[in-house]
Amino acid sequence: MKQINGGVCAAQGFTAAGVHCGIRKNKTKRDLALIFSDVPASAAAVYTTNLVKGAPLLLNQQHLQNGRAQAIICNSGNANTCNADGLEIAAQTAALTAQALGIEKEDVLVASTGVIGLPLSIEPFVTGVPLAAAALSADGCDAAAEGIMTTDTVKKEVAVEFELDGKPVRIGGIAKGSGMIHPNMATMLVFITTDAAISPAMLQKALSADIAETFNMISIDGDTSTNDMVTVLANGRAGNPEITAEGTAFTAFMQALNTVNVQLCRMIAGDGEGATKLLECSVTGAQDLAAAKAVAKSVICSSLLKAAMFGADANWGRVLCAIGYSGAPVDVSKVAVSFRSAAGEILVCKNGAGVEFSEERAKEILLEKEIEIVVALGDGAAAATAWGCDLTYDYVRINGDYRT
């Protein structure tokens, strides 16, 4: 497997575009993204667990009943959530996109992100969708990645190439996510494309299994979004024998999907609203996977720990505190904690108690941009990883006037 360029356009048969259509007041900011497969594709999606769901998600659940799709249209700046005519707007957007591309409206998936409860007009889509369709390009991933951003500070895109039954296959993705990021799925927008041939059922199986280890293990601020989803389109253009059951090919596909998703997870977590550091909590020695996940999530969600990491303060007691209220079965007397970064690693807790360490050396390690919180439970063989970011003054500043 190797890293390649191209994001959602890396796979054969996919083009993308990003344009400004007028949803955002800033005319220099792209606010509409389009991804298109030149042939119908197997499709799968996972949606937010929030009971309040954006209208596009409700429409997509209808459109994906047959497991097929050919295009994704996404706007930023308005979530199209809690609007009286939201479902109608989403349906009209799908119809406009289908007309511009010459495909069936049921083969269009719709996504929106931005302010909740803000009225949304169809007019920007009437002018914007044809512009986006005309701008579709094999080099359009960068523009599409910008078109889905809200408070994101960087575009998030990745792609890899691997082999299935001797055929080169590509899989790539783009993502947006900076705030309202919290387990469980989906808590951001992620669009993935691949030219692998895989049945809708197996594609859904692969996605549902992988998000449990990737996107469900991110937390920025404890708020689960109303709108977001992870979607995969697989158009089969690579020419490999279609994956219809578990086996070697399915395992290889899962590994490639996981590689893409983990990288997107790290990008999302590191770009949390106001964040200055990516935090990764690696838990080993848990009794079972559920316990490992519970501990990793609890640590990464701790506001006190996140604030300590912002200040480069090796306050390991906050890690123990988060482990203690995680609900996981843990023998605290066996727990060890270390902090690790590009500057090195330092042990701060062993057998559930503090050990002597240099505060100056710890600060050097915690001043890096990527920090790993290493937790060894000593109770078993299960492991899990979760991702998050530090909690800064800027998080409050950004969200204090997000709507106005």
Instruction: Kindly report, residue by residue over 59-74, the tens digit of the pLDDT.
Output: 999 999 999 999 999 9
pLDDT at 381: 97
Q: Given pLDDT bands bounded at 50, 70 and 90, which one contains residue 178?
A: low
pLDDT of 404 reads 59
**Digit-coded pLDDT (tens) for 8-50:** 999 999 999 999 999 988 878 999 999 999 999 999 999 877 7
Looking at the predicted structure, is the pLDDT value of residue 222 above 70? no
| pLDDT tens-digit series, residues 239-265 | 999 999 999 999 999 999 999 999 998
Residues of the chain with CATH 3.60.70.12: 2-270
pLDDT of residue 185: 41
Residues of the chain with CATH 3.10.20.340: 278-400
* pLDDT, tens digit (0-9, with 9 covering 90-100), for 281-321: 999 999 999 999 999 999 999 999 999 999 999 999 999 99
- Given a cut of 70, is residue 126 above it in pLDDT? yes
Average pLDDT of the segment spanning 160-189: 79
Supply the pLDDT for residue 336: 98
User: Which range, of 109-123, 172-186, 373-387, averages the lowest pLDDT?
Assistant: 172-186
- What's the pLDDT score for residue 179? 53
Average the pLDDT over each of 29-43, 188-202, 351-365, 387-401 and give the range with the smallest value: 387-401
CATH classification of 278-400, choosing from 3.10.20.340, 3.40.190.10, 3.40.50.720, 3.30.920.30? 3.10.20.340
Residue 311: which residues within 8 A CB-CB, separation 6 or more? Answer: none
**Which residues belong to the active site?**
187
pLDDT score for 132: 98
- Percent over 70 (pLDDT), the chain: 95
Given this model, what pLDDT does residue 223 score?
Answer: 52
Instruction: Give CATH for domain 2-270.
Output: 3.60.70.12
Higher pLDDT, 26 or 388: 388
Report whether pLDDT(152) > 90.
no
> What pLDDT, on the 0 to 100 scale, is given for residue 312?
97
Higher pLDDT, 365 or 114: 365
Per residue in 316-361, pLDDT (tens digit) is 999 999 999 999 999 999 999 999 999 999 999 999 999 999 999 9
Average pLDDT, the chain: 92
